[in-house]
Amino acid sequence: MRTAFLAPLALCAHLLLPGAAQAQAAKYELDPDHTTVAFLVDHIGYAKVLGLFRSVRGSYSFDEATATLSNVRIEVETNSVFSNQRKRDDHLKGPDFLNSSQFPRMVFTASSAKRTSDRQFEITGQLELLGKSQPLTLQATWNKSAESPLGGPLRKPYVMGVSARGSFKRSAYGMNYAVANGWVGDEVPLIIEFEAVRQ
């Protein structure tokens, strides 16, 4: 009788141990064919230039049962910047902006996230750019998780879709070109859309 009573208690204690909530966390990898990291930058107050990065990879861990997000890492190849104008893109890759030859990657990392509603998350981490690391917070929406209808006959991948937004100041990373005269905006809004495949 004593053993029968203690067994459920032992199971409960095990479930409450640190890390137990993460036991079902699965690793997800960003699908490069369905990932967009884009940005907007003000141009002399007339309009905003829309650009994006053509080469992005990343991963994270997510426990769907508890909506626990962890181990976020997104890497952007700065040399892959594209704004639909070659001369401007060459300038963006140069020392006035991304300095791609010296700093080939821009990296966002976050160890955890705060769930603010059913499908909304606040992800506060660090953005490493131009050799400097500064705090960056992304507001993310968990759009959908489901088996993809686009998989092959033997295996249909399980896919999670996310939309995220955030912003940072260029000057915080020493990217001061045309900030003082207002020709190029200091604030850089980020637009992140991706599908990630459960491994």
- CB within 8 Å of 106: residues ≥ 6 apart: 53, 75, 76, 78, 98, 127, 128, 129
State what percent of residues in the chain have pLDDT above 70.
88
| Contact (Cβ atoms closer than 8 angstroms) between residue 82 and residue 51 | yes
Residue 6 belongs to some domain of the structure:
no
Residue 1 inside a domain? The answer is no
By the 8 A CB rule, do 41 and 185 touch? yes
Helix H or strand E encompassing 9 = helix 2-15
Least confident of 23-32, 91-100, 175-184: 23-32
Domain range for 119 is 22-198
130 pLDDT more than 90: yes
Residue 188's identity, in one-letter code, is V
The answer to whether residue 13 scores a pLDDT higher than 90 is no
The secondary structure of residue 188, as a DSSP letter, is: E
Structurally, the chain folds into a number of domains equal to: 1
Residue 154 lies inside a defined structural domain of this protein: yes
Residue 169 lies in a domain: yes
Q: Is residue 194 part of a domain?
A: yes
| In a domain? residue 188 | yes
pLDDT at 20: 44
Q: Which whole-number Å values give the CA distances from 170 to 86, 167, 175, 186, in the listed order?
A: 21, 10, 5, 5
What CATH number should be reported for the domain holding residue 113? 2.40.128.110
Question: What is the number of helices (H) and of strands (E) in the chain?
Answer: 2, 11
Residue 9 falls inside a structural domain: no
Residue pLDDT, tens place only, 60-87: 999 999 999 999 999 999 999 999 999 9
Task: Answer yes or no: is 164 within a domain.
Answer: yes
